[in-house]
């Protein structure tokens, strides 16, 4: 480390401030794009399955590139990796922006850009985590990672609403903002003065395969880290599935995107409060205790959410998870960085991200299968009340189609167009003609869009998950 960071408070550590600001700028652009990309995919895809490929490609690219990224981070100067990753993402965003502005967007182009962004994100995330150790004293690592936690929740709180607002004006505006954020991150990263050079012993370099598996082997030899990361992997599976179910149930209950935005905004506020409390909790609670508190809190919240039918209450419960996870995540990441040898930093961090997020993408589709089988909660209740009251009054149609009027073909619907000018494919109605209330899990997924990329947190994905406003006229 340079500049004797041991004697610098984080507020006076200019290299840490530059590193933190660079991550904030990049995260803001990513948060805005996380809402816009699914909306663009829905505007050009023929089916929900095709639109869902967006999330699959982004997640697969990030997952497959984590171990190679960790190996390269241990061999290259970190400043060069950070700047290169931000510039790569800037180039991809610029290409997509040009395509959208010309009005000739195709799904394969969007998938390609998503794959490039996922690859760039894998390098940037790992390089950022390793760089913290180079610019911050070891005893300040928990506080530094806690500030990263708070930054992530704050960005999620503001980024997605900003992206939605800009998208409502023009589809190209949030993409232009994402491009500016990426370029800003590259410039700020280049201004970091600490050398941040790798300390790999080049005289005894292992083979590529062994080098890629070095981080996994190190974590396997650490019983507590190994157990915690495997538990985090299972937690991620349950969390992503629960978020999907919440969105599906509240959407089927006619909740608007504003309602869901408030839900996840409340959760993000819980994460911000947890990050602020982390410096006070970390000296008083051991890492093991914090992880146990977070785990039991999550279990209680997941069980309670089964009985919640109000978005505000669900948001408050999610906020409890975020509040307990923020200090635990910061301590866990600082423990990984502190325990790993300097020349293995990138590979160990990459392996931890890989283990924690390996099965997370399975959460939404598995939850979708359950929803296809049982239906949203409010529909099951409606069917129960309908059967009970059937003898009292005749059934009446729900959300029936309005009369098309004289001279209009009843089967004709005017073509709708997205803000980028491409025709929007009509959604499929349910077999029983129940209209917007009878949405299958695939139909809900069409409006939810792809998940955000896996987040840096080993235990918990950061921030709220966005939902676009259902254009209910397409179903009514």
Give the Å distances, CA to CA, from 252 to 109, 256, 336: 32, 10, 42
Is 244 in contact with 363 (CB distance < 8 Å)? yes
- Is the model more confident about 436 or about 345? 345
Query: Residue 137 is inside which H or E element, if any?
Result: none
* Arithmetic mean of pLDDT, 16-41: 87
Calculate the average pLDDT of the chain: 75
- Residue 452 CB contacts under 8 Å (≥ 6 apart), including other chains: 30, 34, 461, 463, 465, 466
Lowest mean pLDDT among 159-168, 361-370, 421-430: 421-430
**Per residue in 32-42, is it b (16+ CB within 10 Å) or e — as a string?**
bbbbbbbbbbb
Tokens in use for 11? 């507020």
Q: Report how far residue 146's alpha carbon sits from residue 137's, in angstroms, rounded to the nearest whole number.
A: 14
- Is the model more confident about 12 or about 452? 12
DSSP string for 234-287:
HHHHHHHHHHHHHHHHHHHTT--HHHHHHHHHHHHHHHHHHHHHHHHHTTTS-H
Residues in the chain, total: 476
Whether the predicted pLDDT of 10 surpasses 70: yes
Q: Report how far residue 105's alpha carbon sits from residue 99's, in angstroms, rounded to the nearest whole number.
A: 6
Tokens in use for 183? 């370029």
Q: Report how far residue 174's alpha carbon sits from residue 101's, in angstroms, rounded to the nearest whole number.
A: 12
Read off φ and ψ for residue 468, nearest 5 degrees: -80, 150
| Residue 304: band (very low, low, confident or very high) from pLDDT cuts 50, 70, 90 | very high
Tokens in use for 407? 């001279």
Cα angle value 234/57/167 (rounded, 5°) = 105
Is 181 in contact with 90 (CB distance < 8 Å)? no
Tens digit of pLDDT for each residue in 95-128?
A: 999 999 998 889 899 999 989 998 999 899 999 9
Q: How many CA atoms lie within 13 A of 77 on its CB side?
A: 11
Nearest to 424 by CA among 44, 29, 122: 44
**Domain residue spans in the chain?**
12-195+212-371+447-469
Give the Å distances, CA to CA, from 400 to 79, 114, 382, 429: 60, 39, 17, 12
* Arithmetic mean of pLDDT, 362-388: 62
Whether the predicted pLDDT of 374 surpasses 80: no
Tokens in use for 451? 């998940």
Is 347 in contact with 200 (CB distance < 8 Å)? no
Tokens in use for 388? 């009970």
What pLDDT is attached to residue 341?
84
Nearest to 166 by CA among 423, 419, 422: 419
DSSP state of 340: S
Lowest mean pLDDT among 67-81, 241-255, 272-286, 411-425: 411-425
Lowest mean pLDDT among 202-211, 239-248, 357-366, 383-392: 383-392
Tokens in use for 353? 């991200």
Q: Report how far residue 59's alpha carbon sits from residue 230's, in angstroms, rounded to the nearest whole number.
A: 19
What is the CATH number assigned to the segment(s) 12-195+212-371+447-469?
1.20.1250.20
Is 62 in contact with 118 (CB distance < 8 Å)? yes
Residue whose entry in the numeric block shows the structure tokens 């792809």: 450
- Residue 427 CB contacts under 8 Å (≥ 6 apart), including other chains: 443, 446, 474, 475
Name the most confidently modeled range: 182-196, 238-252, 385-399.
Answer: 182-196
What pLDDT is attached to residue 399?
43
DSSP state of 473: G
| Residues facing 416 on adjacent strands | 424
* Arithmetic mean of pLDDT, 139-143: 84
Q: Report how far residue 180's alpha carbon sits from residue 445's, in angstroms, rounded to the nearest whole number.
A: 30
DSSP string for 387-424:
HHHTTTS----SSPPPP--TT--TT--PPEE-TTSPEE
Is 337 in contact with 345 (CB distance < 8 Å)? yes
């Amino acid at each position: 480390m340079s500049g004797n960071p041991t004697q610098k408070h984080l507020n006076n550590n200019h290299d840490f401030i530059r590193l933190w600001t660079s991550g904030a700028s990049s995260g803001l652009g990513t948060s805005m794009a996380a809402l816009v990309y699914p909306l663009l995919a829905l505007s050009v895809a023929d089916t929900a399955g095709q639109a869902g490929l967006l999330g699959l490609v982004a997640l697969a690219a990030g997952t497959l590139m984590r171990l190679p990224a960790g190996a390269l981070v241990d061999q290259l100067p970190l400043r060069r990796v950070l700047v290169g990753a931000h510039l790569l993402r800037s180039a991809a965003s610029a290409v997509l922006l040009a395509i959208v502005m010309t009005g000739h967007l195709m799904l394969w182009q969007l998938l390609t850009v998503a794959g490039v962004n996922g690859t760039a994100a894998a390098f940037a995330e790992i390089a950022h985590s390793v760089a913290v150790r180079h610019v911050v004293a070891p005893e300040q690592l928990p506080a530094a990672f806690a500030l990263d936690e708070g930054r992530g929740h704050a960005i999620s709180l503001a980024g997605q609403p900003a992206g939605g607002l800009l998208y409502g004006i023009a589809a190209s505006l949030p993409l232009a903002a994402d491009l500016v954020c990426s370029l800003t991150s590259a410039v700020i990263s280049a201004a970091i003065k600490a050398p941040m050079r790798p300390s790999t012993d080049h005289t005894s370099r292992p083979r590529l395969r062994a080098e890629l598996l070095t981080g996994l082997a190190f974590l396997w030899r650490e019983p507590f880290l190994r157990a915690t990361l495997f538990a985090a992997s299972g937690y991620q599976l349950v969390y992503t599935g629960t978020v999907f179910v919440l969105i599906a149930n509240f959407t089927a209950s006619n909740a608007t995107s504003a309602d869901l935005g408030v839900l996840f905004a409340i959760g993000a506020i819980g994460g911000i409060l947890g990050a602020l409390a982390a410096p006070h909790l970390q000296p008083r609670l051991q890492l093991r205790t914090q992880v146990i508190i977070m785990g039991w809190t999550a279990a209680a919240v997941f069980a309670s959410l089964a009985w919640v039918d109000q978005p505000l209450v669900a948001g408050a419960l999610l906020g409890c998870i975020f509040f307990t996870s923020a200090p635990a995540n910061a301590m866990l990441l600082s423990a990984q960085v502190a325990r790993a040898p300097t020349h293995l930093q990138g590979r160990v961090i990459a392996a931890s991200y890989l283990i924690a997020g390996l099965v997370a993408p399975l959460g939404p589709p598995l939850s979708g299968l359950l929803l296809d089988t049982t239906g949203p909660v409010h529909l099951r209740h409606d069917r129960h009340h309908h059967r009970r009251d059937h003898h009292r009054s005749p059934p009446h149609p729900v959300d029936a189609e309005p009369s098309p009027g004289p001279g209009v073909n009843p089967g004709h619907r005017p073509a709708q167009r997205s803000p980028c000018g491409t025709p929007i494919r009509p959604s499929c109605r349910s077999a029983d003609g129940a209209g917007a209330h009878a949405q299958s899990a695939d139909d809900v997924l069409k409006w939810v869009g792809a998940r955000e990329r896996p987040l840096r947190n080993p235990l918990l994905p950061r921030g709220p998950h966005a939902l676009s406003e259902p254009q209910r006229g397409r179903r009514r």
